[in-house]
Amino acid sequence: MKTPWWFLYKTPLSFILWPFSWIYYFVGRVVFFVRRIRAIKSRRPIICVGNIFAGGVGKTPVVRAIATYFDAPVVMRGYKKSAKTGNVGDEASMLARSGLAVHVGDRKSNVILLNKQMDENGPIVMDDGLQNPTIKKDVAIIVFDEGLGYGNGFLLPAGPLREPKSAAEKADAIIVIRNSKPKKKFVLPAGVPVFYAKNKTVSPYSDGEKLVAFAGIGYPKKFFGALKNVVATRAFPDHYQYTDEDLEKLFALAKRKKAKLVTTEKDWVRLPEDAQEKIKYAQLDTVIDDRFFDWIKGKIK
């Protein structure tokens, strides 16, 4: 689905939906506490990277950076699996392309499996598991985008928050992705270590090449704004599965504009092989403050 337009602003519609947000939240809390009864403690340290903002904050590149640093396996649900991504999901496929060991499916089962590897004692990175109570976390990290902040501050479906803003106080650390236009009134809780990271979008083309950019991610405008010489853009729903008709229209648009097609790596892995040969992706590199890795090494000891 496309990110609802009201998620970033307080609108009449968001206020109408506000009562439903608390129903959604309280039902979720009941389910959370019931599931927590059967929680397991992993033999290997669990580093959980997640968010309370529903998508679009840049969590996956942070997961990749942490897992790469520790040469750690990643456990994740594998959202929107399809044959185009090897039935593991676009984010899992993207992480696997980086050489990481990615275990997709039930996180609890995969953690149990990894714990049986008695010759391995290093950490396991859990992708997007803050709202999953079935595994006890040794380190819980929340990722925010400085340009999105808390959105309009409301819970789903009135806003983008999975949990109230106060949930950030329970994190062991917060990683904030820097943005040239930080969200106003984005205040982080006192007492929680905060580390900053920078994103750099590396285009596969020279600055002078005209580009038609397309993306099916949480907030496509972030991607479009990171590129130069973009003459046209097309936004699709998050995790969108591109059809032959979609691709034909994109190629026709690029031909009319005398431009090259470019997309995100997350979108590129969802494309058919023949389209991958003709379309390039812009690499998103995330660099986290070195102090973070010093902190987390001490934490998991």
In tens, the pLDDT along 233-261 reads 999 999 899 999 999 999 999 999 999 99
Residue with token string 């990175």: 125
Given pLDDT bands bounded at 50, 70 and 90, which one contains residue 156?
Answer: very high
| pLDDT at residue 56, as a whole number | 85
Same fold, 5-200+287-300 and 202-284: yes
Mean pLDDT of the chain, nearest integer: 93
In the structure, what pLDDT confidence band is assigned to residue 83 with cuts at 50, 70 and 90? very low
Please tell me the distance from the alpha carbon of residue 177 to that of residue 256, in angstroms, as a whole number.
Answer: 36
pLDDT for position 184 = 86
Q: Is the pLDDT of residue 88 over 90?
A: no
Flag whether pLDDT at 276 surpasses 80.
yes
Domain residue ranges in the chain: 5-200+287-300, 202-284
Tens-place pLDDT, residues 191-211: 999 999 999 999 999 999 999
- Spatial distance between the Cα atoms of 180 and 138, rounded to a whole number of angstroms: 33
pLDDT at 16 > cutoff 90: yes
pTM over 0.85: yes
**Architecture of 5-200+287-300 per CATH?**
3-Layer(aba) Sandwich (3.40)
The closest alpha carbon to 6, from 208, 160, 121, 169, belongs to 160
Q: Which fold has domain 202-284?
A: Rossmann fold (3.40.50)
Instruction: Specify the pLDDT at position 82.
Output: 53
